[in-house]
C-alpha cells in the first residue's frame, strides 16, 4: 500500500498540486534536500504527460499518483488510463524496457525513450523543422535524466511511470517506542 495516494481529474491546474504533495512526502520520507527539485520536476513531467493523454482520450477518468517509502528508496508511480499506444509512451513497454533503469543520475540522453529526440531542434544557422512543439517523449527523457530508476509498464488500459530515488530512513518512520525492539520493515502507516 502506498504511503500517500492522490487521484486527480486531468486538469493542468492539478499538476502543481501533485508536485507539491510529492515534494512534501519525499522530504518527509528522507529524500535528500538536494534531490527534491528533481522529484518535483519528474513528478510534474509524469503528471503533465498523463493529463495531456487523458484530455485527448478519457477526460473523465482520474490520474493516480502513489508515493511509497521503501526501505532504501522513495518511489512515485503515476498511472493513467489512456490507451498506451497513443499516449506518448513507447508502446512496447511491457517489461519496463521503455524506461530503462538509470545507471547513475543526470545522464543527458534526450529522446531516448520514444525516439525523435528534440524534434530536430538545431543550433542557430541550420535548417529549421516546421513544427513548433517539442515531441511527445521529451517529458519521459527528462524523467530518465532526473530519477535514479525509471520503469514504464502497462497498467490496465494505460501505463504507469514508476520513478524512484534513494532515501535516508527517517527516524519518525520507524514508530518505535523507547526501548522497544526494532521491527524489520516497519514503516509509517498509510495516510489514505
Distance CA 95, CA 6 (A): 25
Judged by beta carbon, residue 42 or residue 84, the one nearer other proteins is 42
Among positions 22, 25, 31, 41, the unique one binding other proteins when judged by CB under 8 A: 41
All residues at 6 or more sequence positions from 179 whose CB lies less than 8 Å from its CB, including other chains:
none
Distance CA 84, CA 90 (A): 8
Distance CA 117, CA 30 (A): 34
**Rule CB under 8 A: which of 48-107 touch other proteins?**
48, 51-52, 106
Phi first, then psi: what are they for 166, rounded to 5°? -70, 150
**Rule CB under 8 A: which of 100-139 touch other proteins?**
106, 108, 110, 118, 121-124, 128-129, 132-134, 138-139
Binding residue count for other proteins, defined by CB under 8 A: 32
- List the grid coordinates of 127: 535548417
All residues at 6 or more sequence positions from 180 whose CB lies less than 8 Å from its CB, including other chains:
none
How does strand 63-69 pair with strand 4-8? antiparallel
Phi first, then psi: what are they for 23, rounded to 5°? -65, -40
Judged by beta carbon, residue 2 or residue 82, the one nearer other proteins is 82
Q: Does position 145 bind other proteins by CB under 8 A?
A: yes
The nearest distance, CB 113 to other proteins, in angstroms, is 12
The nearest distance, CB 173 to other proteins, in angstroms, is 27
Judged by beta carbon, residue 71 or residue 131, the one nearer other proteins is 131
The nearest distance, CB 90 to other proteins, in angstroms, is 16
Q: Are 151 and 158 in contact (CB under 8 A)?
A: no
Judged by beta carbon, residue 106 or residue 189, the one nearer other proteins is 106
Which residues of this chain interact with other proteins, rule CB under 8 A? 12-13, 15-16, 19, 37, 40-41, 44-45, 48, 51-52, 106, 108, 110, 118, 121-124, 128-129, 132-134, 138-139, 141-142, 145-146
Amino acid at each position: 500500500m502506498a504511503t500517500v495516494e492522490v487521484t486527480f481529474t486531468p486538469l493542468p491546474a492539478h499538476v502543481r498540486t501533485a508536485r507539491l504533495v510529492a515534494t512534501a512526502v519525499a522530504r518527509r520520507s528522507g529524500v535528500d534536500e538536494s534531490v527534491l527539485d528533481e522529484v518535483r520536476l519528474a513528478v510534474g513531467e509524469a503528471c503533465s504527460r498523463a493529463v495531456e493523454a487523458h484530455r485527448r482520450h478519457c477526460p473523465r477518468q482520474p490520474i493516480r499518483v502513489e508515493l511509497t517509502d521503501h526501505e532504501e528508496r522513495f518511489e512515485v508511480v503515476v498511472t493513467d488510463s489512456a490507451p498506451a499506444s497513443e499516449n506518448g509512451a513507447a508502446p512496447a513497454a511491457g517489461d519496463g524496457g521503455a524506461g530503462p533503469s538509470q545507471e547513475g543520475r543526470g545522464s543527458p540522453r534526450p529522446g531516448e525513450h520514444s525516439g525523435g529526440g528534440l524534434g530536430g531542434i538545431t543550433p542557430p544557422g541550420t535548417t529549421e523543422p516546421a513544427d513548433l512543439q517539442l515531441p511527445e517523449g521529451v517529458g519521459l527523457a527528462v524523467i530518465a535524466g532526473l530519477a535514479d530508476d525509471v520503469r514504464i509498464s502497462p497498467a490496465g488500459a494505460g501505463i504507469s511511470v514508476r520513478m524512484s530515488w534513494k532515501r535516508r530512513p527517517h527516524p519518525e518512520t520507524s514508530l518505535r517506542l523507547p526501548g522497544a525492539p526494532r521491527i524489520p520493515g516497519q514503516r509509517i502507516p498509510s495516510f489514505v
